[in-house]
Each structure stands twice: as structure tokens, then as C-alpha cells.
Amino acid sequence: MSMTDPVSDMLTRIRNACGSKHRRVDIPASKLKLEIARLLKENNFITDFRTVPTENGRQVLRVVLKYAHGGHPVIRELRRVSSPGLRKYVGVSEIPHVRNGLGVAILSTSKGLMTDREARQQGTGGELLALVW
């Protein structure tokens, strides 16, 4: 059975793993998911990520989750904004400030995937994929 929203599946797997206090989570890999993981690592929401080959020849994205002191997950919330049924596009002036700069918005622009800060610096809008804080 094909998956209609792989990005939402990725965010849900990370959200569930954080709620269960797992150290890592495995997700079917794609270029888009690798870029989302790269942005999460650059903004210190996860510890690390890498692709791991499976026995059937497919790639799996292994995300190592990050926890603060006391065992609380660094990722408080992951929210999917744009979905396959209802795309949400924003201009550069409409890009949201997530938790007054404590969180990030992930955008898919014509210049690639980037955070809200990078999109404002480059003066470009795009599809608002997710909000993370």
C-alpha cells in the first residue's frame, strides 16, 4: 500500500519516539526526509542522522533523538502545516515566527528546503511544510 504523506509519517514517527523516550527512530529514506533531518540537526533538535541499508536493499534514515537534562525531549512539538490535500504557501512577509524564534518553520522553496530565518534572509517564500519547537 502506498503512503500518501511520507513527510507527515516521518514527523509522526519522531513525535512518537520522543514521547516513548526512544534513543533513535528508523524511517524509510528519501531525499526530502534527509533534508528535513539535516535542518533539524543544524537547529539542534536532533543529535545525528544517517542512512542505513536494510537487508532488502532499501535505505532507512536513522535519526538519533536529543534529550535535555531530566530526560525531557528537545522537540516539544512537530506540526505538519501543508498536506497533500491542502497545500499552504506563504510569501516572504507571511513566514511565521515560531515561538518568537525558539522554534523553526521548515519551508520548501525554489532554492531548496530551508528554515524560516534562511528564507527571510534570501527573500523567498514557499510551501510551509512543518513547524518545530
Whether 1 is in a domain gets the answer: no
Whether 47 is in a domain gets the answer: yes
What pLDDT score was predicted for residue 3? Answer: 83
Residue 34 belongs to domain with CATH number: 3.30.1490.10
User: CA separation (Å) from 31 to 62, 66, 77?
Assistant: 14, 22, 23
pLDDT 10s per residue in the chain (133 long)? 568 999 999 999 999 999 999 999 999 999 999 999 999 999 999 999 999 999 999 999 999 999 999 999 999 999 999 999 999 999 999 999 999 999 999 999 999 999 999 999 999 999 999 999 9
The model carries a pTM of 0.94
Q: Which stretches of the chain are DSSP H helices? A: 6-19, 31-42, 116-122
Whether 121 is in a domain gets the answer: yes
What pLDDT score was predicted for residue 123? Answer: 97
Whether 95 is in a domain gets the answer: yes
Please give the tally of structural domains in the chain. 1
Domain that holds residue 71: 6-132
Whether 86 is in a domain gets the answer: yes
